[in-house]
Amino acid sequence: MKIMKSIILSTIIFISFCVNSSAQSTERFIRIIGNAKTESVADKLMIVLSLSEVEPNEYRKIPYRSYDEVYKEFVQNIEGLGYLEKNLTPIFAQSKKYQKTRTESYNLLIEAKDYGKISDLKIEGFKLTSSKYYHSSNDDSIEESLALEAIRDAERKAKSLCDKIDKKLGKILNIEDTSSGCCNNLGEQKKQVISKAYKVTITFELLD
């Protein structure tokens, strides 16, 4: 999976002042939202396909083919692309009471580059019914990297603002992270490229 990260320039910045009445002093702070972004580019597809018994058709000159014949030919073709029979996951229909011919449906996880080769298979009784891009779950290091990038983004913007108002940036007083877990369990998606934003709200001490 290819990961591309970029910092979102748009920010929401506001300065808050609160009064500490017990100490008879003013505590000043600045709260900044830091942003980061990642893109997940799927390199796999989850396809749904059906394999059916073929009724004879004299007009189209199509002979009868049993379900087993269709299944065997399809398996031979996908094995030529590097997939195994065990990679086919059966989808169990709720009812086959009214089916005139035997039809079975399967899921198959494939490389995106092989989609055209499979969809173009000329096998009577084979039908590709749907497909979705499959995004593997990101590891924890990706999310950790995004969090640190968002913190750096907030710090950069806070320093820039302090320079303009002739103040100094102090220590971090609080970090609010509302994006934890944003990049996990992406799974099946309609789009090949999925964008995920990471956001943290950081409160910095404001010094003279």
In the predicted model, what is the mean pLDDT of residues 8-33? 51
How far is it, in rounded angstroms, from Cα 126 to Cα 107? 13
Residue 48 predicted with pLDDT over 70: yes
pLDDT at residue 25, as a whole number: 41
Looking at the chain, the whole-number percentage of residues with pLDDT higher than 70 is: 81
Kind and range of the H or E run holding 149: helix 140-164
Q: How many residues in the chain? A: 208
Any residues with CB less than 8 A from the CB of 79 and at least 6 apart, and which? Answer: 85
- Determine the straight-line distance between the first and last CA of the chain, rounded to whole angstroms: 47
In the predicted model, what is the mean pLDDT of residues 94-115? 85
Helix, strand, coil shares of the chain as percentages rounded to 5? 25, 45, 30
Q: What string of DSSP letters covers 83-128?
A: --GGG-EEE--S--TT-SS-EEEEEEEEEGGGHHHHHT---TTEEE
Look at the block and give the residue holding tokens 């943290």. 200
Domain boundaries, given as residue ranges, for the chain: 2-41+137-207, 44-134
In the predicted model, what is the mean pLDDT of residues 112-123? 95
CATH placement of domain 2-41+137-207? 3.30.110.170
Give the pLDDT band of residue 175 (cuts 50, 70, 90).
very high
Give the pLDDT band of residue 160 (cuts 50, 70, 90).
very high
User: How is domain 44-134 classified at the architecture level of CATH?
Assistant: 2-Layer Sandwich (3.30)
